[in-house]
């Protein structure tokens, strides 16, 4: 079995055949100041074109080549400006097949792992989704293009504030970010169609299972040093669990660190 090293933001963050799944829109505007030199108005946005090209290569070489082919997901990955979610000094590295440091001792996952976990949720476009671990906000942005509304919880204040600012500036209006312990979920907005946990609890927190709708899907790394990346579906007959891969995530912080339920799995 393949081991994938995966590092994501705590408390918060490895293919399969896709199921059914929103396309984006593009707007182009141009303004010319008559008093400006010709060179100033004729110069193309080289930086933007540069990153667009990098995103296309990323999707072709890192995502599609590994078996992920869901069109809406690939389009989202080609659309979201990953470089906006990393420190400026690392922007040229944003589309590499590796995690990157984002501050506070945390990282944003490599693009493939973001893609795989999103793919496993089988989003159609109108879901109410809970994300545990906002981190840089990059995964949040990808999910925002795939689901109806995203509620994201981050335990580190600085990361939550920064991610919220970037998401707002880029116009992701269907996202709400708050600071808190993801173990407890977001009960006032429950139930959720899908839940994505982006760091590893020893066992799935019971409150998150409770906040998942019947027939809802939860994707999470579960375990200690090495974890199982699992997909859990909540049915009328109980929880159905499927292991996808073996991964290594940072531990989930907060209440999950002292959870006695880890000794008594909930499925």
> Hey, which residues are catalytic here?
109
Q: Is 164 left (phi over 0), alpha (psi -120 to 50) or beta?
A: alpha
First and final CA of the chain: distance in angstroms? 23
E strands within the chain? 3-5, 100-103, 106-108, 128-132, 149-154, 175-179, 192-197, 212-223, 227-235, 238-248
| Closest C-alpha among 93, 138, 94 to residue 117 | 138
Question: Three-state DSSP class for 86?
Answer: coil
Which tokens belong to 117?
């976990």
Q: Specify the residue for token string 């393949």.
A: 2
Rg of the chain over all Cα atoms, to the nearest angstrom: 19
Q: For residues 128 and 188, what is the distance between their CA atoms, to the nearest angstrom?
A: 13
For residue 253, which of 199, 179, 186 has the smallest C-alpha distance? 199
Cis peptide before 191 (omega within 30 of 0): yes
Residue whose C-alpha is closest to residue 132's, from 234, 248, 252: 252
d(CA 142, CA 184): 24
């Amino acid at each position: 079995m393949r081991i994938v090293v995966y590092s994501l933001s705590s408390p918060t963050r490895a293919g399969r055949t896709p199921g059914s799944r929103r396309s984006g829109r593009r707007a182009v505007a141009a303004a010319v100041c008559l008093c400006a030199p010709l060179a100033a108005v004729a110069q193309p946005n080289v930086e933007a074109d540069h990153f667009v090209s990098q995103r296309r290569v990323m999707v072709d070489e890192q995502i599609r080549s590994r078996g992920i082919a869901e069109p809406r997901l690939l389009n989202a990955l080609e659309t979201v400006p990953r470089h906006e979610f990393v420190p400026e000094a690392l922007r040229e590295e944003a589309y590499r097949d590796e995690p990157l440091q984002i501050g506070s001792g945390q990282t944003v996952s490599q693009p493939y792992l973001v893609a795989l976990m999103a793919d496993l949720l089988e989003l159609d476009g109108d879901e109410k989704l809970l994300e545990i671990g906002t981190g840089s906000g990059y995964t949040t942005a990808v999910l925002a293009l795939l689901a109806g509304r995203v509620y994201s919880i981050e335990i580190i204040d600085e990361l939550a504030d920064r991610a919220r600012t970037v998401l707002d500036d880029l116009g992701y209006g269907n996202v709400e970010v708050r600071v808190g312990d993801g173990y407890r979920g977001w009960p006032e907005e429950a139930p959720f169609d899908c839940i994505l946990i982006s760091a590893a609890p020893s066992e799935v927190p019971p409150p998150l299972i409770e906040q998942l709708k019947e027939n809802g899907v939860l994707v999470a790394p579960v375990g200690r040093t090495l974890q199982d990346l699992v997909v859990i579906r909540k049915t009328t007959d109980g929880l159905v669990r499927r292991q996808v891969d073996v991964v290594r995530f940072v531990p989930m912080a907060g209440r999950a660190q002292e959870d006695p339920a880890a000794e008594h799995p909930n499925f």
